[in-house]
């Protein structure tokens, strides 16, 4: 483990992906303001080009430029984060001179950064066409406003990315909270970014209010923890929990933190604002909420439940086990039932994302059910590794197909559709590529082999079953009563998957067998960047299903980094 | 399923590239389909790429080259092996009551042995030639324009299915590719899906083979259960490396030899369906509805061989010392099914007029020969001690004699498969050439006939019936619209026709009527549709009555009644057909002779041992004479004598794409003696084919050996048998045909010199022994044969009586019980959904309230655990 103090040698290099984003932030601020302004040296006629202000040039005032720039910066960050895997990861900690560990760079945090940056890169590429950018020739005030707003949007996307990166790297609850809030505040604005639409503003407002409450509760839990142990370092908290975690104070704090992160992963009953937010936001933003933002929530849960309040050395021990199990059962069932009746595809996807949150909570519950007594630790460690690997794999491939589905909807949105299922009618005839892509995304969401959605669901279910049966396999005969109850979560997950097929397939039905709505017979907008993003999603959706091996290995190394730190 | 999982088994680079043999065509499938969709009608696509034909051709060429590489490696002695190509994922299987979790991995591997190599060559070689042929056949017929890409795409997918099946390293993958072929044959037979007969034939082929496939699947499941306990880590229980491993067979044989016999028997039923053997043979003649290249490909060269391949694959079970004598009954069943089909199909072929149907029955009959041969070989392998060591480990005294017998018996069957595939592929392509050119000549002479749009006769009768009884169309319509839905569906219309005593038609015939009436194509008839069509037909019939329009029959380009004397018009095709026919007949020294003799001899060898085998043995001997007759009949009716129609007199030679494969295959059939001399008659699971390739035995020595065994067998019984078979197959059968059909060509018709003796002999025999066969032709037996022995009829009846009744009940159960349950679940879920969503009020206050509630519950639960 390398230790680096902030701003000492190697600091920038270690955090290269994050610094690239900061550079991107400033670039985005400067570039659209560039012009041919000159600065006259006082008392002389010498004019020095100053570049800020003045008459705009065609290139840097192109309304599509910020989007492309943001995409490029996200891609570079993604590439740098990926490169750290290729060259062999050097685990690094950023430590203050007083010895507080602030950030830690390892496979786990970098893997999550890949998820965040990947999702954001795709979303920013897709938004280039989605935002009402008007041609340069449009000199009307509205047109100009719209073009200037482009920059704001991408600046917010980049701050979201930075916040998420901090959450991934944080080794201290305080750092984690800062990152979380940075990302959250950015997304609140992004949701209501289309201020002309009533739905967008309202959704953003609600999302903000409920989110603030959840954050407030979380923050309160955090302060209780500090009160209790005097430190917010993961290492300190984990040690304190192992020693006397059964005191009321940390338990109350834990519950409050669960509420805070439950909102982030949109677990029932903290999910209510999510469907509204997804439906009100433009589709790429909704996609980010459903993938990157959710991954951030899961990351926080993993940190709190597995690192801090890690299961103890008694049978089926974790204090949060029952609570989380109930939460997961309710969440997956609620999400699927609600999705069943939704006619707005974005709301449907939102509820499906609630259901997916339920699956992931079930996976975390399974880890809590493991037996950590002496003599069982090795097996339990193996099983936990399987589950966490499955979880990370699931979050990663979710970016491929869930975001992909939102991107398809974003193309429909740009012709004012995408709010009703019927606006997808006849898509197969209007744009066969989009219909095929959407169908594959739906199949993958439903978990049909050989797509990546199938592999991820299979891995999660196998992980849960393995955890549930672990105790039994140590002893002898298989007796049904001996199986740990988390096994039923796997069963419930399978039943829920069966229900979910209904609404996923309905999308295919509408696309292929219904006629287009009136006024929607023509072809769809072209949108090259968004189509490229969809193709990228499509290829990865299929590839990670057929050749899942590499990605699983990657996720396993990430899971190892988390579990090894216990 | 994964193979042994080890990379050590890979001994040659050819094996590493072997997956491309099937991957290339498989990848060509989407490419051709996509390009075809994109560039349909484009000139470059049509002429430059032959609508995909010239994409498929190099792909199949590459497949053949890699196959040849693999085969060369194999006979060179280092390509024997089993490899795992890739593994998709590994999954655990929990077995109740046991504490171990068995890992099951799903992957694909390549398995190469002598059977693989033989079939691989046949498949890849013929696929390439048929592809060449198809370019000349499909792309020159305007009826196929702008849809040939569909043909080529399905064609390459089919080829990849066959190649994959041959190369697969487990029964599971064999089954998967087997089904892929089933799908493709369905698509290809139904290529002209707008013709009801083609659609019907496709369905029939699919469903009939499906019957066999169900048994195959059950058989495989049983096999899996038997071998599963012995599969090692990373191995699938159906991998050849598991099921053929002698140690495993021993273990299974010790506990459940009978079950294994049943499993193999059920798998054999699958082979019966795929290879069109009695009683699942009914699909093959109908399948001639597909374009001719499809007939050549599916019904001669590849797909029907799949069944044979499956049976040949079972050899290690029969040959295992541990199962000695256990499987003799199954071997007899295999031989008996073969014998029955051989005679039955040959008999039906006697009365066929359709050129391709004769070939279809001939295929059936010849495949039956191979089944008989395999049955005999498997019997020998199962009942003789042919291994070097006996079960108790002592040296086997009869090793050399018995081993030789088994090897020759198995080799003969496999070699006949090879010879038959070559000859039959060629015959089908040649027949295709004939049909193609007759069709063109007809088109040239009567250009308008194709636009002759006939109204179904039944509708005319109906129109007249209404006019005679004075019913209005509307009144009639109301009376037949049983459910008062405002339109009439097929069932109601069928019932109405039956009640009015006009016609009692099966459903597929009804399709024709419905198509004629249904103007908007919604599958149902409404009043205006019925009124307009019937009115038009009635008026037309009144007009027709006046001028006594002579009814012009649809010209049938496939009927031999319309041919004759084509030897001078299409000399190369006639030569190919002649060589092919002689090969199938087992004419001495040509093609199939070398293998057919072996099959007959070995079946009789078994019959001497086990009297049950007298039945198949007599069948194959009788079949030899029958084959001689119907093949000669076909050739003579088509190519000898004078043209029977003016169309046949105006036929021209065919194009180069078609000629090339015929030319190559002619030499393949003629050159069978070379292959036989190279040891192909000993193509068995060990070193017996080796001497030639190791250079220990020269080609000439092999030739002398084969000639010696064929014509101067030291054993008196086999000596007589050989000459008896030759007498029947090459003299009696053809002799009868010569006396009945053909005759000399018209004056002034020049042809190839080698037809001289044939035509002269024909003329002589016909002149001298004129044999009157009218009494036979008019007998009930001939009628029965023309109706295919009524087997199809009884099947249809059984279907209507049993299956239709059952499906009606099942439909009720489906809609009430199954749909009812599903609907209830769906309705309940939707109601719950509404309830759940009604909690999402849209007011942020409520959301926070719910979150607060959730928080309290969460606290409660955590508290509950702690307290």
CB-based contact A269 B853, cutoff 8 Å: yes
% pLDDT > 70, chain A: 93
Give the one of B830, B850, B858 whose C-beta lies nearest to A272's C-beta. Answer: B850
Mean pLDDT of chain B: 80
CB-based contact A334 B836, cutoff 8 Å: yes
Tell me if the bond preceding A42 is cis, omega within 30° of 0. Answer: no
Which string of DSSP letters, residue by residue, matches A193-259? --TTSHHHHHHHHHHHHHHHHHHHHHHHHHHHHHHHHS--BHHHHHHHHHHHTTSHHHHHHHHHHHH
Calculate the CA dihedral of residues B602, B605, B610, B611 and round it to 10 degrees. 100
| A342 pLDDT above the threshold of 80 | yes
CB-based contact A209 B88, cutoff 8 Å: no
Please report which helix (H) or strand (E) contains residue B103, including its range: strand B101-112
Residues B119 and B704: their CA atoms lie apart, in Å, by 27
Tokens of A100: 């507080």
Q: Please, is A41 exposed, middle or buried when counting C-beta atoms within 10 Å of its C-beta (0-12, 13-18, 19+)?
A: exposed
Which string of DSSP letters, residue by residue, matches B691-716? HHHHTSS-HHHHHHHHHHHHH--SSH
Cα-Cα end-to-end distance for chain A? 15
CB-based contact A323 B854, cutoff 8 Å: no
Helix (H, G, I), strand (E, B) or coil at B30: helix
Q: Which of A339-353, B444-458, B706-720 has the lowest mean pLDDT?
A: B444-458
Count other C-beta atoms under 10 Å from residue B763's C-beta: 17
Answer for the pair B600, B412: CB distance below 8 angstroms, yes or no.
no
So what's the pLDDT on residue B77? 64
> Within 13 A of A180's CA, how many CA atoms are on the CB side?
29
The residue with tokens 């038609």 is B505
Compute the C-alpha angle B686/B689/B693, nearest 5°.
Answer: 120
Residues A463 and A362: their CA atoms lie apart, in Å, by 10
Residue A199's closest chain B neighbor by CA? Answer: B842
pLDDT digits (tens, 9 = 90+) for A532-557: 999 999 999 999 988 888 899 899 99
Diameter of chain B measured on Cα atoms: 113
Residues A543 and B715: their CA atoms lie apart, in Å, by 65
Tell me if the bond preceding B459 is cis, omega within 30° of 0. Answer: no
Q: How many domains does chain A have?
A: 1
So what's the pLDDT on residue A292? 93
The residue with tokens 């069948």 is B619
Calculate the CA dihedral of residues B347, B349, B351, B353 and round it to 10 degrees. 180
CB-based contact B99 A477, cutoff 8 Å: yes
Please list the residues that pair with A40 across neighbouring strands: A47
So what's the pLDDT on residue A312? 66
- For residue B309, give the nearest of B413, B195, B452, B189 by alpha carbon: B413
- A412 contact B CB<8A: no
Tokens of B49: 């790429």
- A492 contact B CB<8A: no
- For residue A130, give the nearest of A190, A60, A74 by alpha carbon: A190
**DSSP secondary structure letter of residue A139:** -
Structural domain range at position A318: 2-563
So what's the pLDDT on residue A300? 93
Answer for the pair B120, B301: CB distance below 8 angstroms, yes or no.
no
pLDDT digits (tens, 9 = 90+) for B125-149: 999 999 988 888 888 877 777 788 8
Rg (Cα) of chain B, in Å, rounded? 31
The alpha-helical segments, DSSP class H, found in B712-843 are 716-726, 733-740, 755-768, 774-777, 780-786, 791-798, 805-813, 819-838
Residues B618 and A28: their CA atoms lie apart, in Å, by 91
Count other C-beta atoms under 10 Å from residue B180's C-beta: 18
- Contacts of residue B184, defined as CB under 8 A and 6 or more positions apart, other chains included, come to B154, B157, B158, B161
- For residue A169, give the nearest of A154, A148, A183 by alpha carbon: A183
Residue A327's closest chain B neighbor by CA? Answer: B858
| A130 pLDDT above the threshold of 70 | no
Helix (H, G, I), strand (E, B) or coil at B620: helix
The alpha-helical segments, DSSP class H, found in B302-398 are 303-313, 315-319, 328-350, 355-383
Residue with more model confidence, A141 or A252: A252
pLDDT digits (tens, 9 = 90+) for A386-445: 899 999 999 999 999 999 999 999 888 877 777 888 888 888 888 889 999 999 999 999
Average pLDDT over residues A276-284: 90
β-pairing, A92-95 vs A2-4, is parallel
Name the interface residues of B facing A (CB cutoff 8 Å): 88-89, 91-92, 94, 96-99, 101, 826, 829-830, 832-834, 836-837, 839-840, 842, 844, 846-848, 850-851, 853-855, 857-859, 861-866
| Cα A134 to the center of its chain, rounded Å | 30
Answer for the pair B725, B619: CB distance below 8 angstroms, yes or no.
no
Please list the residues that pair with A4 across neighbouring strands: A94
So what's the pLDDT on residue A131? 62
A324 torsion bin: left (phi>0), alpha (psi -120 to 50), beta (else): alpha
* Per-residue burial over A114-138, b = 16 or more CB atoms within 10 Å of its CB, e = otherwise: bbbbbbbbbbbbbbbbbbebbeeee
pLDDT-derived band at B6 (thresholds 50, 70, 90) equals: very low
Please report which helix (H) or strand (E) contains residue A95, including its range: strand A92-95
Count other C-beta atoms under 10 Å from residue B66's C-beta: 21
CA separation, residue A15 to residues A21, A99, A104, B130, B322 (Å): 10, 19, 10, 63, 68
Helix (H) and strand (E) counts in chain B: 38, 2
Residues B15 and B5: their CA atoms lie apart, in Å, by 15
So what's the pLDDT on residue B94? 44
Which string of DSSP letters, residue by residue, matches B242-305? HHT-HHHHHHHHHHHHHHHHHHHHHHHHHHHHHTT-TTS-THHHHGGGS-HHHHHIIIIISHHH
Tokens of B221: 């499941």
Give the one of A206, A273, A337 whose C-beta lies nearest to B833's C-beta. Answer: A337
Residues A50 and A514: their CA atoms lie apart, in Å, by 58
So what's the pLDDT on residue A197? 78
Chain A residues within 8 A of B859 when measuring between CB atoms: 252, 255
pLDDT digits (tens, 9 = 90+) for B701-730: 777 877 777 777 778 888 888 888 888 888
CB-based contact B847 A268, cutoff 8 Å: no
Q: Which of B23, B823, B858, B859 best tests the A interface by mutation, with the highest count of A CBs <10 A? A: B858
Average pLDDT over residues B691-695: 64
pLDDT digits (tens, 9 = 90+) for B551-573: 444 677 777 877 877 878 888 88
Answer for the pair B638, B563: CB distance below 8 angstroms, yes or no.
yes
Chain B residues within 8 A of A455 when measuring between CB atoms: 89
CB-based contact B847 A272, cutoff 8 Å: yes
Q: Which of A213, A317, A322, A337 best tests the B interface by mutation, with the highest count of B CBs <10 A? A: A337
Tokens of B272: 């019966």
Residue with more model confidence, A531 or A317: A531
CA separation, residue B408 to residues B208, B244, B376, B378, B420 (Å): 34, 21, 11, 11, 18
Count other C-beta atoms under 10 Å from residue B501's C-beta: 9
So what's the pLDDT on residue A476? 57
- Contacts of residue B828, defined as CB under 8 A and 6 or more positions apart, other chains included, come to none
CB-based contact B844 A209, cutoff 8 Å: yes
Residue with more model confidence, A416 or B188: B188
The residue with tokens 């090793």 is B399
Q: Which of residues 455-474 of A touch B (CB under 8 A)?
A: 455, 458, 462, 466, 469, 473
So what's the pLDDT on residue B684? 61
pLDDT digits (tens, 9 = 90+) for A296-329: 999 999 998 888 887 765 544 678 888 899 999 9
Answer for the pair B173, B108: CB distance below 8 angstroms, yes or no.
yes
């Amino acid at each position: 483990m390398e230790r680096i103090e902030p701003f000492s040698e190697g600091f920038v290099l270690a955090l290269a992906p994050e610094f690239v984003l900061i550079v991107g932030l400033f670039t985005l601020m400067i570039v659209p303001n560039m012009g041919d302004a000159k600065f006259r040296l006082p008392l002389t006629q010498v004019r020095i080009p100053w570049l800020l202000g003045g008459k705009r040039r065609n290139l840097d005032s192109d309304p599509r430029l910020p989007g492309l720039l943001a995409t490029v910066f996200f891609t570079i960050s993604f590439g740098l984060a990926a490169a750290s895997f290729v060259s062999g990861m050097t685990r690094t900690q950023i430590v203050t001179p007083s010895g507080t560990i602030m950030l830690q760079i390892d496979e786990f945090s970098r893997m999550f950064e890949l998820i965040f940056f990947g999702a954001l890169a795709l979303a920013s590429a897709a938004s280039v066409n989605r935002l009402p950018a008007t041609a340069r020739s449009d000199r009307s005030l509205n047109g100009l406003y719209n073009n200037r707003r482009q920059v704001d949007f991408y600046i917010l996307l980049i701050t979201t990315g930075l916040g998420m990166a901090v959450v991934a790297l944080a080794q201290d609850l305080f750092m984690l909270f800062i990152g979380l809030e940075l990302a959250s505040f950015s997304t609140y604005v992004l949701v209501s970014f289309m201020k002309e639409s009533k739905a967008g503003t309202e959704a953003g407002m609600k999302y903000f209010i409920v989110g603030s409450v959840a954050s407030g509760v979380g923050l309160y839990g955090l302060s209780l923890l500090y009160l209790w142990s005097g430190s917010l370092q993961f290492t300190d908290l984990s040690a304190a929990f192992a020693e006397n975690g059964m005191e009321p104070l940390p338990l109350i704090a834990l519950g409050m933190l669960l509420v805070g992160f439950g909102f982030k992963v949109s677990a029932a009953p903290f999910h209510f604002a999510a469907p509204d937010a997804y439906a009100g936001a433009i589709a790429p933003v909704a996609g980010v909420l459903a993938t990157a933002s959710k991954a951030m929530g899961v990351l926080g849960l993993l940190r709190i439940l597995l690192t801090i309040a890690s299961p103890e050395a008694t049978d089926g021990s974790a204090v949060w086990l029952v609570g989380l199990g109930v939460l997961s059962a309710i969440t997956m069932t609620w999400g699927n039932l609600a999705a069943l009746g939704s006619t707005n595809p974005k709301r449907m996807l939102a509820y499906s994302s609630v259901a997916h949150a339920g699956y992931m909570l079930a996976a975390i519950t399974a880890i809590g059910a493991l037996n950590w007594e002496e003599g069982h630790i090795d097996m339990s460690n193996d099983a936990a590794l399987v589950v966490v690997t499955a979880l990370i794999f699931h979050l990663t491939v979710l970016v491929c197909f869930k975001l992909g589905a939102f991107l398809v909807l974003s193309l429909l949105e740009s012709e004012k559709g995408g709010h009703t299922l019927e606006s997808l009618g006849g898509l197969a005839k209007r744009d066969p590529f989009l219909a095929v892509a959407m169908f594959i995304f739906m199949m993958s969401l439903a978990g049909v082999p050989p797509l990546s959605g199938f592999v991820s669901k299979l891995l999660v279910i196998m992980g849960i079953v393995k955890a549930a049966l672990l105790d039994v396999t140590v002893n002898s005969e298989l007796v049904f009563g001996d199986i740990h109850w988390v096994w039923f979560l796997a069963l419930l997950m399978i039943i829920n998957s069966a229900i979910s097929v209904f609404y996923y397939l309905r999308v295919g039905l509408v696309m292929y067998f219904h006629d287009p709505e009136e006024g929607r017979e023509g072809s769809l907008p072209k949108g090259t960047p968004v189509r490229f993003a969809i193709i990228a999603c499509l290829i990865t959706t299929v590839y990670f299903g057929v050749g899942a091996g590499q990605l699983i290995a990657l996720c396993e190394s990430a899971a190892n980094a988390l579990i090894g730190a216990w | 399923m994964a193979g042994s999982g080890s990379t050590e088994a890979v001994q040659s680079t050819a094996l590493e590239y072997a997956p491309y043999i099937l991957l290339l065509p498989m990848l060509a499938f989407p490419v051709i389909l996509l390009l075809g969709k994109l560039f349909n009608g484009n000139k470059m696509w049509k002429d430059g790429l032959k609508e995909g034909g010239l994409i498929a051709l190099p792909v199949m060429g590459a497949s053949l080259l890699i196959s040849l590489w693999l085969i060369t490696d194999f006979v060179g002695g280092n390509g024997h092996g089993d490899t795992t190509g890739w593994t998709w994922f590994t999954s655990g299987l929990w077995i109740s009551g046991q504490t171990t979790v068995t890992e099951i991995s799903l992957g694909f591997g390549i398995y190469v042995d002598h059977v693989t190599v033989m079939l691989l060559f046949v498949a890849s070689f013929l696929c390439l030639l048929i592809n060449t042929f198809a370019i000349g056949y499909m792309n020159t017929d305007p009826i196929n324009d702008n849809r040939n890409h569909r043909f080529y795409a399905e064609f390459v997918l089919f080829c990849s299915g066959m190649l994959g099946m041959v190369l697969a390293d487990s029964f599971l993958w064999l089954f998967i590719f087997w089904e892929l072929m089933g799908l493709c044959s369905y698509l290809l037979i139904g290529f002209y899906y707008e013709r009801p007969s083609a659609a019907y034939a496709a369905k029939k082929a699919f469903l009939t083979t499906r019957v066999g496939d169900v048994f195959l699947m059950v058989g495989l499941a049983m096999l899996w259960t038997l071998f599963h306990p012995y599969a090692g880590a990373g191995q699938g229980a159906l991998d050849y490396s598991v099921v053929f491993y002698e140690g495993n067979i021993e273990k299974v044989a010790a506990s459940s030899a009978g079950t294994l016999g049943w499993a193999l028997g059920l798998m054999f039923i699958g082979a019966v369906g795929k290879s069109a053997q009695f009683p699942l043979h009914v699909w093959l003649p109908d399948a001639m509805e597909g374009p001719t290249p499809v007939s050549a490909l599916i019904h001669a060269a590849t797909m029907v061989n799949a069944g044979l391949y499956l049976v040949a694959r079972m050899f290690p079970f029969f040959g295992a010392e541990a199962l000695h004598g256990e499987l003799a009954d199954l071997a007899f069943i295999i031989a008996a099914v073969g014998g029955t089909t051989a005679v039955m199909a040959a008999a039906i072929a006697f009365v066929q007029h359709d050129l391709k149907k004769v070939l279809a029955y001939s295929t059936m009959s010849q495949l039956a020969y191979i089944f008989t041969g395999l049955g005999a070989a498997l019997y020998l392998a199962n009942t003789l001690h042919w291994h070097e060591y006996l079960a108790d480990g002592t040296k086997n005294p009869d090793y050399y004699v018995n081993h030789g017998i088994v090897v020759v018996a198995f080799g003969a069957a496999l070699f006949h498969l090879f010879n038959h595939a070559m000859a039959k592929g060629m015959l089908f392509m040649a027949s295709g050439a004939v049909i193609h050119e007759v069709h063109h000549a007809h088109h040239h002479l009567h250009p308008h006939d194709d636009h002759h749009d006939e109204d179904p006769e039944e509708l005319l009768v109906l129109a007249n019936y209404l006019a005679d009884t004075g019913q209005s169309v509307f009144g009639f319509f109301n009376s037949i619209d049983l459910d008062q839905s405002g339109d009439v569906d097929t069932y109601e219309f069928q019932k109405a026709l039956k009640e009015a005593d006009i016609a009692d038609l099966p459903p597929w015939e009804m399709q024709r009527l419905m198509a004629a009436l249904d103007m908007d194509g919604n599958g149902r008839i409404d009043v205006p549709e019925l009124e307009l069509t019937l009115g038009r037909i009635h008026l037309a019939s009144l007009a027709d009555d006046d001028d006594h329009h002579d009814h012009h029959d649809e010209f049938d380009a496939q009927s031999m009644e319309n041919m004759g004397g084509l030897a001078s018009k299409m000399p190369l095709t006639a030569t190919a057909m002649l060589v092919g026919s002689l090969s199938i007949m087992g004419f001495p020294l040509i093609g199939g002779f070398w293998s057919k003799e072996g099959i007959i001899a070995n079946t009789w060898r078994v019959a001497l041992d086990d009297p049950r085998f007298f039945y198949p043995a007599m069948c194959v001997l009788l079949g030899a004479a029958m084959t001689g007759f119907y093949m000669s009949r076909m050739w003579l009716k088509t190519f000898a004598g004078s043209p029977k129609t003016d169309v046949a007199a105006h036929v021209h030679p065919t194009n180069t794409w078609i000629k090339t494969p015929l030319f190559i295959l002619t030499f393949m059939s003629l050159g069978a003696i070379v292959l036989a001399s190279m040891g192909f008659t000993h193509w068995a699971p060990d070193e017996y084919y080796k001497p030639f390739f190791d250079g220990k035995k020269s080609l000439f020595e092999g030739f002398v050996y084969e000639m010696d065994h064929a014509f101067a067998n030291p054993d008196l019984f086999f000596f007589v048998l050989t000459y008896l078979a030759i007498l029947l197959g090459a003299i009696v059968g053809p002799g009868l045909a010569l006396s009945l059909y053909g005759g000399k060509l018209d004056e002034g018709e020049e042809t190839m010199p080698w037809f001289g003796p044939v035509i002269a002999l024909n003329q002589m025999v016909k002149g001298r022994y004129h044999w009157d066969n009218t009494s036979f032709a008019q007998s009930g037996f001939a009628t029965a044969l023309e109706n295919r022995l009524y087997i199809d009829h009884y099947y249809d009846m059984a279907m209507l009586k049993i299956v239709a009744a059952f499906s009606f009940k099942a439909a009720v159960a489906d809609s009430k019980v199954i749909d009812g349950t599903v609907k209830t679940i769906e309705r309940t879920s939707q109601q719950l959904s509404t309830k759940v969503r009604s909690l999402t009020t849209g007011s942020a206050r409520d959301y926070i309230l719910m979150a607060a509630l959730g928080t309290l519950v969460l606290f409660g639960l955590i508290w509950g655990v702690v307290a």
